[in-house]
Amino acid sequence: MWTPVRTDDGSWTLRQEELAQTCHSTSGAWEQARLRYAGPCRLRELALERPVVRLLDIGTGLGLNLAAALAALEGTGARLQAVSFEVDSSVFGAARKLSEWPADAAPFVERVQRCIACSSDESLELHLELGDARESLRRVERFDFDAVFLDPFSPQVAPDLWGESFLFEVARRMAPHAVLSTYSAAFSVRLGLARAGLRVGRGPRVGRKNEGTLASARADLPPLEPRLQRRIERRSCGSP
């Protein structure tokens, strides 16, 4: 069962009652989508350099992160090609019932919802995979994603999507310049990304969340605290 929740910036999220978790931060769902995902993954910069930006979106939810990606590309002429994973398709029906979005979010949310409902959009090519994200990822043959939004429910609820084997497969599908962003700052997640061969950096503070995590094979990232960085480096090499 999904319950609508109006967040502090006027945008909506949904609460999954059985799991007692929301899809986005209640301090601002639209703010989180823009500042946690589209911004740090540098989508607009990529769109100014190439005609197509390729996104792997893990945790479709309301489609708000996809909407933020579309907003970032607005006016660049670039097209967004997105592969998005969602385990529970009932979230889409609940999202379509929401109205009165903030003015800067509404047109992009509407476009994403139309694409989820199988309509086309000249700026968005969306391939939606339903079911277990681990199985969905095995079916994805593309290995040059420009960005990854890692936004499933928490490790307590969906531990398999935060495990090292899954993170390794995600990392394999990232282009060298690609940036992955996630809200989690857990040491185990950062270590898993490092063991997958990625550099790990500090994600921005958004709302009431202190910081998230960024990862990339080659891109420069805001550094972690030095002692934490050394600990990750030791553990990623097998040292205690």
Two tokens, residue 41: 């993954």
The per-residue pLDDT for range 44-92, each reduced to its tens digit, is: 999 999 999 999 999 999 999 999 999 999 999 999 999 999 999 999 9
Contact indicator for 194, 220 with CB cutoff of 8 Å: no
Res 34: pLDDT: 98
Higher pLDDT, 117 or 175: 175
The per-residue pLDDT for range 120-174, each reduced to its tens digit, is: 788 999 999 999 999 999 999 889 999 999 999 999 999 999 999 999 999 999 9
Token match 């990304």: residue? 193
The per-residue pLDDT for range 188-218, each reduced to its tens digit, is: 999 999 999 999 999 999 988 789 999 999 9
Specify which residues 201 forms β-bridges with: 214
Res 240: pLDDT: 57
Is residue 175 predicted with pLDDT exceeding 90? yes
Contacts of 103 (CB under 8 A, 6+ apart): none
For the residues 104-122, what does the mean pLDDT come to? 91
The per-residue pLDDT for range 22-36, each reduced to its tens digit, is: 999 999 999 999 999
Contacts of 109 (CB under 8 A, 6+ apart): 62, 63, 64, 67, 101
CA distances from 3 to 6, 9, 71, 194 (A): 10, 18, 26, 36
Amino acid symbol at 224: L
Distance CA 228, CA 154 (A): 22
In the CATH scheme, what is the code of domain 28-236? Answer: 3.40.50.150
